Structure 1
Amino acid sequence: MTGSDKHAAEFAEMAQERDRRNRPVKRHDSMLQADASTECLMIAGPTFDAFAWERRAGNQRAYSLSGVTHTLSSDRIIAGLSNFLLLPLQPWDALVCTSQVARDVVTRTMENYADYLGRRTGVKIEPTLKLPVIPLGVDGSRYAKDETARQMLRNRIGAADEDFVILFLGRFTFHAKAHPVPMYLAAERAAKRMPGRKVHLVMVGQAPNDRIMSMYRTGAEQFAKTASVHFIDGQDDDLVHASWQGADVFLSLSDNIQETFGLTPIEAMAAGLPAVVSDWDGYKDTVIDGETGFRVPTTAPAAGDGIDLAFRYQTGRDDYDRFIGRACMVTSCDLDAAADALVRLAEDPELRAAMGKAGRNRARAFYDWSVIIRSYEDLWLELRDIREKAPEVAPRQSSETASPFYPDPFHIFAPHPSFALGADNIVTIDGGDPDADFQAILAHEVCTFSQELMLPSEQTAALLRRVSASGKVTVGEIEQWIDDRRWSRLHRTLPWLAKFGLIKLSEQ
């Protein structure tokens, strides 16, 4: 579903290239256009507001909603997750969490708001949607062994066969990905423990601006004097591929709250690289400590120590980047443990090979896109079964709009008029020639705004002639002249005609 012709064409092309079953691709501007064969709307994000309210305008059992977590730390996303408690989400809807940590964060966010609502209203509200854990995936074939690419990387950085090459790959944003200095220090400590072995740290990525890039380079010069640090352009696909092939281990000491999964350790495993990562966010799920690599212990302040950070963000004293940056700066990794893991892998090629092989097997078994897609399809089938049986949450009443944030103006603003149009109101002609007067009104654009929401012109003209012939009728009597499916149009048309002096409306 998209309003963009470009996005629709791009998706159709991508789907046709990858779908072995050659299923047709249909484009909708709105799910209200979808036919009965459409069972699930996959949302590329964790917020459901517009989609849930749109579905409530029709049949809430018509299809499921399925979203996926990305960053969970911004005020907009936290508000969206909190709002799950109040949205018309159903037991047949799901937010896919890419890691167990992501699921815990989503649950804590909803519980936090539920606690407030409970104290505010005295009512305990429980979320209704499912929160399955399905990770992100990789195309394992892209990381098959490539000796030519391996030599390309090692020649570029001047690494001999016996040298130890550590790889980090990711965006160079210290506040939002992984602060580089702890990685510089870990590589430096490892290098000092192996005086007879040259250690290279390859940093692959891009900085958002020259100032940040300069900070990364200056930090490398300051904190890594024994280990050699090299920077590779993360937009050069050939060099990125060569980096995966030419490294001996992968290092990522992620320490920020905006990360919920972390794809690069999966790519490392697919490339056969042992991973040394922080025991943090989705890394807890993906890297099996002692089997596919090592997880380094992390420490952060306890609950209650960040209240002032949150308030600075809430009041605009800090923007989002500063908010997550402040949290990053007080999160630490055990640098000795990181250095120990690097040294152990450097000095034990058999362990490196065994962990690399275990990583490839794990990537193939759990994270290949073929496996991930099957997991999504299984989820959608499960949601279909639930949709057939589970009771509906907040069924829509016939007299209410789909969303209370977009109320019927004639309900909310009912106190405005002297009286609301009703079946007992009297309708009389207020002019000499209804046909001529009506045509005169139709000739002026200022009078015909929103006419598409009224009765058709021909039907309105006929109605005027009939009222003129009757002399005086009630709204209820006119309703009997009209198909009841058009009564709302009639009830808008009568005040419109009265507005421009064609009829007169009175209470009795």
Structure 2
Amino acid sequence: MNEKRIWGTLDPFYESGAVLGRKVANARFMDFLLRADPFDEYHFFLGSEAAARAQRETLQRMAPSIAARGGFSVMDRRELPSRLAATRYHCFHQSDCMTLQPHLARLRNARSRRIFPITGVTHSLSYADYGRLFLQHVWPGATPRDCIVSTSTAGVAAVENHFEALRQGYGLESVPGPVVRRIPLGIDPQTFEPAGRSGQGPCSLLVFGRISHYSKMDLLPLLRALHRLFSDGLDPASVRLVLAGWTEDNDDYTPVLRELAANIGLDLVIRARPTEAEKTAIFHEADVFVSIADNPQETFGITVLEAGAFGLPAVVSDYDGYKDLVRHEVTGLLVPTVGPQCTDEADLMAPFTYDNHYHLLLAQQTAVQIPALAESLHRLIADPDLRRTMGQAARERVCRQFAWPQVIEQYVRLWDELNDEPVDEASLRGVAHPAQVQFARVFGHYPTQSLHKDMLLAAGRTGQGLYRGRDFPLLYAGLERVIDPEVLKHMVFLARKPVTVAEMLERLGGLDNPLDPGRAEYHVLWALKHDILELTVFAGS
């Protein structure tokens, strides 16, 4: 009989609240994973009952056929140790590699039936605290089955550069970490149909995304490039620039753009916070997509894919993930950029300032070459046939390489390949993670003494009542996963005559459902705390 293929995660992937690129990408990943349905079961371990309840409702709505066959299990995270011990998982995947992935690897190593792959995806990679977070991945328990998935070639190199700097700075050259692989984000091409513009009227240039000079791109170079073209004889009436996307309330950036556009005679339209229906109309009205990202906060560039799916040629900066998304002279034009060799000011000040402060410092050190930008824009503004040819090539490439079904296939192949990587499971079981607080080690001097093997245990008064059925243990919520009342009765039976801690732990490890040493010790201490057991001679007396 074939063993079930079970996929697990600690994340819901479906999140409420403000619409962010990360949230949309994670939700679409889950949509298409469930459509492909490559696993027998999907296990979600969430942090609260409210989150679990919302997740069950969402999964029932999104994949009723999987729900009908009992393919979903949504559980409390506190069930992880027992589930890992009882279930043979094929893989776990996290919607973000930064926070829990290395700690899940430690729990897997200690408690799971097998060392399954753990993967997590990157989003933005440029936040000041990411050095600390990436450091957690570099530890002796990391295995070749642990993998960070970056969405772009540039992102893969950025993650590897993080690890290189950490290993050199902390003297960890020989300490393993996860492997890094590239799998892009995707889109559903069926939701992005080209409009078939006639090419008549002014050429409409579209910028779509956050309209922000500190977290996306500085748009002043774009206006400078158009001013250069107008000065060289291009009729301003032949061009319209549309800026669409998220804007902040009381933003002083868009008034500056409006004023500069008016000064150079540019027809500028700003469409703030469009709905999905309005977004489609905006793309249908466009002739050329423009994005001159200059900020390391941008790692992939999903709007570039969307523009290609809409059949638009792109003029984009030769920067970050855009290098993967636009084939120069085929689906659009890449504009050269110049970046810094030294970022001392941002490096030193990032820990003390807000994200937008140091991202602005960094972005203003990245120059999109304005003469080349002007030339690229002019080529497409002046040539409707070139726009159509590149736009058609862009859509064909997006549908072939970046549709979500193909992306999901890459993940399934990755999980299978990682499972084949050799690991020494026995050597990993007891390796502690240095970033995890070992509470007994750190706070072991707080009590009068620690439990040790030669202490003598006897049944306490409450324990005797428990054994005779005249009393019962009171378990706080959350402890029912740790304390087994039947084990407590067995402990009282064993302690009807004084018994050493060592013998008690040994007997608990030999039950039909044996307790591991840590959980057995927890039962002994909890029983002492609640008068189910008592020390026959308290060493402090």
CA distance in 1, matches of 2:348, 2:201: 52
- TM-fit CA distance, 1:385: 1.7
SS in 1 for 2:414: helix
Q: 1:137 corresponds to which residue?
A: 186
Q: Of 240, 245, 264, which aligns to 1:205?
A: 245
Q: 1:79 corresponds to which residue?
A: 132
Q: 2:410 corresponds to which residue?
A: 375
CA distance in 1, matches of 2:379, 2:499: 94
CA distance in 1, matches of 2:435, 2:273: 47
Q: Is the 8 A contact 2:143 2:176 kept in 1?
A: no
Q: 1:27 corresponds to which residue?
A: 74
Alpha-carbon deviations, 1:167-218, whole Å to 9, x = none? 11001122111112122222333344322752100111121212x2x42133
Q: Of 438, 459, 477, which aligns to 1:407?
A: 438
CA distance in 2, matches of 1:284, 1:446: 57
Question: Which range moves more in the overlay, 50-59 or 371-380?
Answer: 50-59
Q: 1:287 corresponds to which residue?
A: 326
Q: 2:313 corresponds to which residue?
A: 274
CA distance in 2, matches of 1:496, 1:68: 44
CA distance in 2, matches of 1:10, 1:233: 30
- TM-fit CA distance, 1:55: 1.9
Alpha-carbon deviations, 1:315-366, whole Å to 9, x = none? x2x2111010111122211112111111111222221121112111111111
Q: Is the 8 A contact 1:88 1:393 kept in 2?
A: no
Q: 1:63 corresponds to which residue?
A: 116
- Aligned AA (2:345): D
Confirm or deny that 1:218 pairs with 2:256.
yes
Specify every segment of 5 or more residues in structure 2 that has no aligned partner in the other structure, as ranges: 1-43
Confirm or deny that 1:343 pairs with 2:378.
yes
Query: What pairs with 1:473-488 in structure 2 (closer than 5 Å)?
Result: 474-475=500-501, 484=510, 485=514, 487-488=520-521
Q: 1:259 corresponds to which residue?
A: 298
Relative to the length of structure 2, the TM-score reads 0.76
CA distance in 1, matches of 2:316, 2:382: 18
Specify every segment of 5 or more residues in structure 1 that has no aligned partner in the other structure, as ranges: 152-159
Q: Is the 8 A contact 2:283 2:307 kept in 1?
A: yes
Q: Of 343, 348, 352, which aligns to 1:311?
A: 348
CA distance in 2, matches of 1:322, 1:142: 36
**RMSD of aligned residue pairs (Cα, Å):** 3.8
Matched residue count: 473
Q: 1:266 to 1:504 in 2, by over 3 A?
A: same
% identical equivalent positions:
25
CA distance in 2, matches of 1:457, 1:60: 26
Confirm or deny that 1:396 pairs with 2:426.
no
CA distance in 1, matches of 2:426, 2:367: 44
- Aligned AA (2:55): H
CA distance in 1, matches of 2:507, 2:273: 71
CA distance in 1, matches of 2:305, 2:336: 19
Query: What pairs with 1:143-162 in structure 2 (closer than 5 Å)?
Result: 143-146=192-195, 161-162=200-201
Q: 1:384 corresponds to which residue?
A: 419
Alpha-carbon deviations, 1:412-454, whole Å to 9, x = none? 55556676544444557899x9957999x9799899x979748
Q: Is the 8 A contact 1:49 1:80 kept in 2?
A: no
Structure with the greater alpha carbon radius of gyration: 1
CA distance in 2, matches of 1:165, 1:434: 81
Question: Which range moves more in the overlay, 193-202 or 325-334?
Answer: 193-202
Q: 1:155 corresponds to which residue?
A: none
CA distance in 2, matches of 1:393, 1:244: 56
- TM-fit CA distance, 1:292: 1.0
